[in-house]
Chain A
Amino acid sequence: MKLVPIPKDKYEEYRLTLMFDCYKWDPQFLDNNTVAKYALVLTQQEHEELKILTEKLDRETQDAEMFLNQHLELTKPLALPRKMKKEVRLMQNYNPEKHIRLMRYDFHPTVDERWAVSEVNSDVPGGFAEGSLMPQAAIDVLDETGDRKYLYKNFGDNLVAAIQKKVPSGGRIMLVHCTSYSDDRQVMQFLGDRLEGLGFQIIYAAADHLRFKDKKAISILDGNEGEVDAILRFSPLEWVSDMKPKHWEGYFDTTTCSCNHPIAIFAQTKRFPFVWDVLEENGISMTTWRELLPETLNVKDAKGKEGYIYKPVYGRVGEMISIREACQADEYKQIMMEVKMCSKNYLAQKKFISKALEGENGEYFHVCVGSYTVDGNHAGYYARISQTPRIDSNAADIPVLIERGGA
């Protein structure tokens, strides 16, 4: 795995291309440029290894959620949000054949030459356009001679293929997201434009624009009323539960094709490892997870132990993770205070030492390679790099390429 610089004289145009042709609408975050000046190049071997590990993790995750859904009495250690406890009981009719299961596993190279997984984005993984269009934009500036040195896995192609398989041709698809956030809309717009090009009818709407009748989803959005054939949700389940739109329980037992179905909640909570023992007692293998996820403990069980970091149970994009050297100003102190005051909202995880990759000017970057699955199959990558070991909103998006024939 290596960083290959985008040629300096082409970088500005590359960044503009990403903004205007590749749905990268958030190229700046505070004082940071979020478009990396590099491409991340994997060898074929690394790609194969990641693909195998990702699919193994996915099999274990899906087996686990199917089992947990039928044995809710065993889910107490997950401490699912109280606001959705009643609704979770409605998922008994969940049939994976009817829905599309999309997940992204975040891999990090470590100094002991292995991979660590920091989490699975089980509910609403993002980075769709970055995992689909960004690699080609990078190849266009890196491979001007046309020697076809690099290839990539187009995530969008794989997601769209799964949708085409399960949603009737020309069907109505509601893209459920937080309509006030352009960062969410860019993800939805990428997918919406692709699907519209294939003849689907697309409705951009919010979580409260759906009602359910006879377990079928119905749009109530002004001027767009009527039954929908699929729900592609980008509003996190726990946010929707906070909003609690009327009739939202319909999301849990709908037979309308959903991506993702709320079944995703079992693995979305970072307390997922706390049910592994019981899963294994019931014949569900969690071997790959145990191999890759650092030891995870309740906050109280980590008291007095060295080498642990704290992270929120429902944290996103690296927020509020207590990696001291990555925290700015008094942020570390604030996180630790929060951990002390609301320990149930946090957990402790054994810290792994991320292996940084060297850039062209001697600077070092930590890497997080998000590896997608769609319905159990590896579907592509979305990666970010950062000069600190915490990959958060300040990190830069980087295209993932695979070196043809590289060992």
Chain B
Amino acid sequence: MTNKECYKIWAPSGKKWTDWVRPVPFIVAQADVKGYHAGELLIPTIGFVDESWKNAAVIVDLPGDEGIEMGLAFAKLGYRPVPIYNGTVEQKNARATVDNQTVGAALLWGAEILKKMEIDAEALPVFLLDKNRLNRFKLDVSVFDNSWDVYPQDLPSADYFLKNGINKIVVISDSLSKDLKAIFKKYKKKDICICLRHAH
């Protein structure tokens, strides 16, 4: 599967929410990820989604490829997974703050599963993030800092969510990340409810 074919599976043309899928990890996947083995990824079973989630978008903010596993678990429940990973690969031979390549390998792996699923055109979105993106610690100045933040422009606006019947956002994580908190300020102003749910 080429990187473009993989992208097209995660972001099929003309489907709701797919405009927000970021191409960066898919592009990187072609150049650098093929040497990585995604290993045995497991799709968990989700038992916590109930009627109260019917107007909710989900943001999965879990470390590394766990976000993709969880995203596919939500896809099995009928959600549209929307990967918004946006980290870059470090300079060759340099130590880096974040491994941004694992998600690329997992996206390739996940595409094989996702392409067999039928996702409804009106499916609710589940946005996928890597919690490790915020690893900023540098042992010393010579380390390549490829940590990254998610910004308001990487997600739909509050108005767009509301126009599409979404008035709640559930974050699947152990805590609300600083960058998400900044984005949520604008959502809260428009009365979008933010909830946090642990993955396990």
Minimum distance in angstroms from B36 CB to a CB of chain A: 19
User: Which residues of the partner chain A approach B91 to less than 8 Å between Cβ atoms?
Assistant: 203-205, 221, 223-224
In whole angstroms, what is the CA distance A23 to B26 when docked? 12
- Closest chain A residue, CB of each to CB of B159: A31
Are A205 and B144 closer than 8 Å at their CB atoms?
Answer: yes
- Contact of A31 (CB < 8 Å), options: B26, B93, B157: B157
Q: Which of B20, B24, B95 has the most CB of A within 10 A?
A: B24
1/0 per residue, CB under 8 A from A, across B112-155: the answer is 00000000000000000000000000000111111111001101
In whole angstroms, what is the CA distance A221 to B96 when docked? 10
Minimum distance in angstroms from B147 CB to a CB of chain A: 6
In whole angstroms, what is the CA distance A185 to B88 when docked? 7
- Contact of B93 (CB < 8 Å), options: A19, A208, A222, A246: A222
User: Which residues of the partner chain A approach B159 to less than 8 Å between Cβ atoms?
Assistant: 31
- Contact of B148 (CB < 8 Å), options: A27, A30, A182, A246: A182
Asked if A25 CB lies within 8 Å of chain B CBs, one says yes
Chain A residues numbered 204-225 whose CB sits less than 8 Å from any CB in chain B: 204-206, 208-209, 220-225
Are A20 and B27 closer than 8 Å at their CB atoms?
Answer: yes
User: Which residues of the partner chain A approach B152 to less than 8 Å between Cβ atoms?
Assistant: 30
In whole angstroms, what is the CA distance A236 to B152 when docked? 22
- Closest chain A residue, CB of each to CB of B139: A222
Asked if B3 CB lies within 8 Å of chain A CBs, one says yes
- Contact of A179 (CB < 8 Å), options: B7, B8, B88, B95: B88
1/0 per residue, CB under 8 A from B, across A181-206: the answer is 11001000000000000000001111
Asked if B92 CB lies within 8 Å of chain A CBs, one says yes
Chain A residues numbered 284-302 whose CB sits less than 8 Å from any CB in chain B: none
In whole angstroms, what is the CA distance A20 to B144 when docked? 24
Asked if B86 CB lies within 8 Å of chain A CBs, one says yes
Are A220 and B146 closer than 8 Å at their CB atoms?
Answer: no
Are B144 and A179 closer than 8 Å at their CB atoms?
Answer: yes
Asked if B13 CB lies within 8 Å of chain A CBs, one says yes
In whole angstroms, what is the CA distance A220 to B22 when docked? 31
- Closest chain B residue, CB of each to CB of A12: B13
Asked if B71 CB lies within 8 Å of chain A CBs, one says no
Asked if A70 CB lies within 8 Å of chain B CBs, one says no
Asked if B48 CB lies within 8 Å of chain A CBs, one says no
Are A33 and B19 closer than 8 Å at their CB atoms?
Answer: yes
In whole angstroms, what is the CA distance A179 to B88 when docked? 8
User: Which residues of the partner chain A approach B93 to less than 8 Å between Cβ atoms?
Assistant: 222-224
Given A182-B87, A222-B143, CB of A25 within 8 Å of CB of B94: no
- Contact of B142 (CB < 8 Å), options: A185, A204, A220, A246: A220
In whole angstroms, what is the CA distance A91 to B155 when docked? 43
Minimum distance in angstroms from B3 CB to a CB of chain A: 7
User: Which residues of the partner chain B approach A179 to less than 8 Å between Cβ atoms?
Assistant: 88, 144-146
In whole angstroms, what is the CA distance A241 to B142 when docked? 19
In whole angstroms, what is the CA distance A225 to B93 when docked? 10
Are B95 and A180 closer than 8 Å at their CB atoms?
Answer: no
Given A30-B153, A208-B141, A393-B153, CB of A223 within 8 Å of CB of B92: yes
A-B pairs with CB below 8 Å: how many?
86
In whole angstroms, what is the CA distance A206 to B91 when docked? 10
Are B88 and A28 closer than 8 Å at their CB atoms?
Answer: no
In whole angstroms, what is the CA distance A147 to B7 when docked? 33
In whole angstroms, what is the CA distance A185 to B4 when docked? 19
Are B94 and A223 closer than 8 Å at their CB atoms?
Answer: yes
User: Which residues of the partner chain B approach A224 to less than 8 Å between Cβ atoms?
Assistant: 91-94
User: Which residues of the partner chain B approach A393 to less than 8 Å between Cβ atoms?
Assistant: 153
User: Which residues of the partner chain B approach A31 to less than 8 Å between Cβ atoms?
Assistant: 156-157, 159-160
Asked if A160 CB lies within 8 Å of chain B CBs, one says no
- Contact of A25 (CB < 8 Å), options: B23, B143, B155: B23
Chain B residues numbered 73-118 whose CB sits less than 8 Å from any CB in chain A: 86-88, 90-95
Asked if A29 CB lies within 8 Å of chain B CBs, one says yes
In whole angstroms, what is the CA distance A245 to B124 when docked? 45
Asked if A52 CB lies within 8 Å of chain B CBs, one says no
User: Which residues of the partner chain A approach B86 to less than 8 Å between Cβ atoms?
Assistant: 182
Are A222 and B94 closer than 8 Å at their CB atoms?
Answer: yes
Q: Which of A19, A205, A220 has the most CB of B within 10 A?
A: A19
In whole angstroms, what is the CA distance A246 to B141 when docked? 10
1/0 per residue, CB under 8 A from A, across B1-38: the answer is 00110011000011000011011101100000000000
User: Which residues of the partner chain B approach A181 to less than 8 Å between Cβ atoms?
Assistant: 148
User: Which residues of B are in contact with A by a Cβ distance under 8 Å?
Assistant: 3-4, 7-8, 13-14, 19-20, 22-24, 26-27, 86-88, 90-95, 141-149, 152-153, 155-157, 159-160
Q: 28 interchain pairs (CB within 8 A)?
A: A12-B14, A16-B4, A19-B23, A19-B27, A20-B7, A20-B23, A27-B23, A28-B19, A30-B153, A30-B156, A30-B157, A179-B144, A180-B145, A180-B146, A181-B148, A182-B86, A182-B87, A182-B148, A185-B88, A204-B90, A220-B142, A221-B94, A221-B142, A222-B94, A222-B142, A223-B93, A223-B94, A246-B141
The 4 closest A-B pairs by CB, nearest first: A223-B93, A222-B142, A222-B94, A19-B23
Given contacts A25-B23, A28-B19, A221-B144, 13 further A-B contacts (CB under 8 A): A20-B4, A25-B27, A30-B156, A33-B19, A182-B148, A203-B91, A204-B91, A204-B144, A209-B141, A222-B93, A222-B143, A224-B91, A224-B92
